[in-house]
Amino acid sequence: MATVTLRINGQPVTVPAGTTLLAAAAQVGVKIPTLCYLKDIGHDVGACRICVVEVAGKEDFVTACNTPAEEGMEVYTNTPAVRASRRMTLEMILSDHHMDCPTCPRNGNCELQALAAQLNVRTVRLSGATRADFPRDDSTPAIIRDPRKCILCQRCITVCKNIQTVAALELQGQGFDALVGPPGNRKLADTLCVQCGQCALVCPTAAITERDDTPLVWAALADPGKHVVVQTAPATHVTIGEAFGLPPGTDITGKMVAALRRLGFDAVFDTNFTADLTIMEEGSELLKRINEGGVLPQLTSCSPGWINFMEHFYPDLLPHVSTCKSPQQMFGALAKTYYAQQKGLKPEDVFVVSVMPCTAKKFEAQRPEMNAASRYWGNPAIGRDVDVVLTSRELIRMLREAGIDFTALPDEDYDELMGVGTGAAQIFGATGGVMEAALRTAYEIATGKTLARIDFEAVRGMEGIKEATVPMNGTKVKVLVAHGLANARALMDKLRAGELKDYHFIEVMACPGGCIGGGGQPIPTDTGRRRSRIDGCYTRDKALKYRKSHENPEIKKLYQDFLGEPLGHRSHQLLHTSYRPRQSLVARD
Amino acid sequence: MVEMVKYFLDFVQKESCGACVPCRVGTKRGQELLERVLKGEATGEDIALLSEVAKAVAPAARCDLGRMAGKALVYALECCQNEFAAHLAGSCSGTVAPNLGWQAIVG
């Protein structure tokens, strides 16, 4: 490998050709400050100019984040001129920033705040026009845009365009009036945005955040007339602890249950339970499609960002999508039917809260057709199947506000009836997990044999597109797994072109890494954390008593007492749904 | 000269792509400070701050548009100190006759 040798502040360093000055400096213990740079998503546009450095022989500065090291370079990272420019640039940003730090959603977890502290900037001498006139965009159920806090780093543009191939945001306007937002000054709700929230994860400030629905939950908890139940998604079991100083991937399930009880929920349930149910329904659907010549390959349907993506971009392929609702929506429908019935509660009194790693789940819960319980009972007063969706970040805020000393809590168990989840359900949180869980169950149902090895390593990990073949009753079942919508798009283009005819089942998760990397997860969420959280899912899977969905005793009871059988009449009433093209949105300027 | 460099900043603000901070915000703050100078409201501190802004923008903007704006300001402040001083004192002894063509360009 070709190397180059250069000097950073006089220190010689040898690095592979193509290494950035930023990375070269890090090797000699020099941490050049950055703001807009985000290696994780390949974002190095050099917009903020915070990482400028001086290179001997060049009149102007260069940005360390995107300038490759050259042989013999003499780089200076802290000359008076560089420091003055860097500090003044930061003052410029701050003079144009809506600084209401104490009441800002990102207070205490803001990269701009952190940089001001790092550079010891204590005053902003510049003043003048501000971005105050840019309106807040709260047109969508999940994602709120506040351009007053935007520093135009363009990370959201990169993640939306390159990682998700949605391109709902762009840089527009000239000079001081430049703005990052939907093309043509549209509201976000009128764009192709799929609500995945990856933009909120990479936003350094609070220019893009999740809608805060915590007041609705506090109000429900305080209402004696409501029976408030909560469900926790698999991916939250290994992430919530990060906010309380625990390493990423730590299994905090028992503590989360205890914490939710202390917040005052009347029953604490597990979305893992309905993840197992999803496997029963979706696995049966897959076998039915294979045996009866249905539309193949079948596509998973648990990721609401992915469903939005299909409805927006590939409506012609919707027949491939499983009719199964997501575990969240299955839970809501059952909470207000099965659970209410078993407990002798009025369904209209049951209030369902979800804790999800996901912003798009807020959108999903508000879809008009997600009122199965209301239709089941013929009672409009029942309303939504899922009343409020909290992201991981919102729950963390509630726990903090309630003064719950999370790490000091004992481990507690979920309530009965909808509280048992298997290891198969736990791995729903990781890319490939739904596929692996489905294979564990579909194989045993189809063949009547017990799997010798239930770990399907081929579908695990951060590879963009993964593939496996599993022999079942003489059929070689071929499966694919994709995460991140750019990978999904690559597969859908092939499917559209007729190239994936011999595949049976494709799992897609909108977010990189799967739900553990969801748009509602703790910030930061980067590749390293995604890997640790994925490991956490498989560790918990191994530790659980049941590791196959069809072995879940509460699922057996549910079918016995209420549903009958997978794909039965009640399942179709409550657990299955349909999709529709939403191409009206695809109109471009 | 103060007016000339102000027109130049107006032009840059109109053309700036908005991507980098020194050009997007720096030239705007430069404009605002120069306006104070032209209105006779500026202080010595304003001029010092303007100079700092100029020196920060000149080597750091992402492309030559912003860099030129910064440099024009730096040179104006260096070579026409007396004009800035005159504005501070409440008069305008422009050494360069204001050319209204500039205004036409930047509208």
SS3 at position A46: coil
State how far the alpha carbon of A120 is from the alpha carbons of A33, A462, B21, B57, in Å.
12, 38, 19, 20
Q: What percent of chain A has pLDDT over 90?
A: 97
Residue B100's pLDDT is what?
55
A188 Cα distance to chain centroid: 18
| Residue at A428: amino acid letter | F
- The beta-carbon neighbor of A176 closest among B20, B24, B67 is B24
Task: Determine how many CB atoms are found less than 10 A away from the CB of residue A296.
Answer: 18
Q: Is the pLDDT of residue A499 over 50?
A: yes
pLDDT band at A91 (very low <50, low <70, confident <90, very high): very high
Residue A588's pLDDT is what?
47
State how far the alpha carbon of A488 is from the alpha carbons of A203, A299, A510, in Å.
23, 11, 8
Average pLDDT of chain A is 97
Q: Which pairing describes strands A3-8 and A11-16: parallel, antiparallel, or unpaired?
A: antiparallel
Per-residue model confidence as pLDDT tens digits over A155-166: 999 999 999 999
pLDDT band at B91 (very low <50, low <70, confident <90, very high): confident
Residue A551's pLDDT is what?
98
Question: Does A499 contact chain B (CB < 8 Å)?
Answer: no
Question: Does B52 contact chain A (CB < 8 Å)?
Answer: yes
Task: Determine how many CB atoms are found less than 10 A away from the CB of residue A330.
Answer: 28
Q: What percent of chain A has pLDDT over 70?
A: 99
Instruction: Write out the two tokens for A41.
Output: 């998503």
Considering only CA atoms, which of A276, A274, A250, A231 is closest in space to residue A537?
A250
SS3 at position A521: coil
Residue A587's pLDDT is what?
47
Per-residue model confidence as pLDDT tens digits over A539-551: 999 999 999 999 9
Q: Do A49 and B29 touch (CB under 8 A)?
A: no
Residue B102's pLDDT is what?
53
- The beta-carbon neighbor of A125 closest among B32, B49, B60 is B49
The CATH class that applies to domain A104-210 reads: alpha beta
Question: Among A274-278, A384-388, A524-528, A583-587, whose mean pLDDT is lowest?
Answer: A583-587
Question: Across the A/B interface, how many CB contacts are shorter than 8 Å?
Answer: 105
Residue B99's pLDDT is what?
56
Mean pLDDT within A84-108:
97
Q: Where are the beta strands (DSSP E) in A454-545?
A: 465-472, 475-483, 505-509
Q: Do B20 and A174 touch (CB under 8 A)?
A: no
pLDDT band at A562 (very low <50, low <70, confident <90, very high): very high
Q: Do A85 and B59 touch (CB under 8 A)?
A: yes
Residue A589's pLDDT is what?
39
Q: Is the pLDDT of residue A55 over 90?
A: yes
Q: How many residues does chain B have?
A: 107
Tally of helices (H runs) and strands (E runs) in chain B = 7, 0
Measured CA to CA, the distance from residue A366 to residue A308 in angstroms comes to 13
The hierarchical CATH code for the domain A214-575 is 3.40.50.1780
Just list the catalytic residues of A.
Answer: 282, 285, 302, 322, 361, 364, 369, 515
Residues of A in contact with B28 (CB under 8 A): 128-129, 175-176
- Per CATH, is A3-78 categorized as 1.10.3720.10? no
Per-domain residue ranges of chain A? 3-78, 104-210, 214-575
Per-residue model confidence as pLDDT tens digits over A210-263: 999 999 999 999 999 999 999 999 999 999 999 999 999 999 999 999 999 999
SS3 at position A185: helix
Q: Do B60 and A174 touch (CB under 8 A)?
A: no
Name the residue of chain B whose CA is nearest to A127's CA.
B29
What are phi and psi for residue A42, nearest 5 degrees? 65, 35
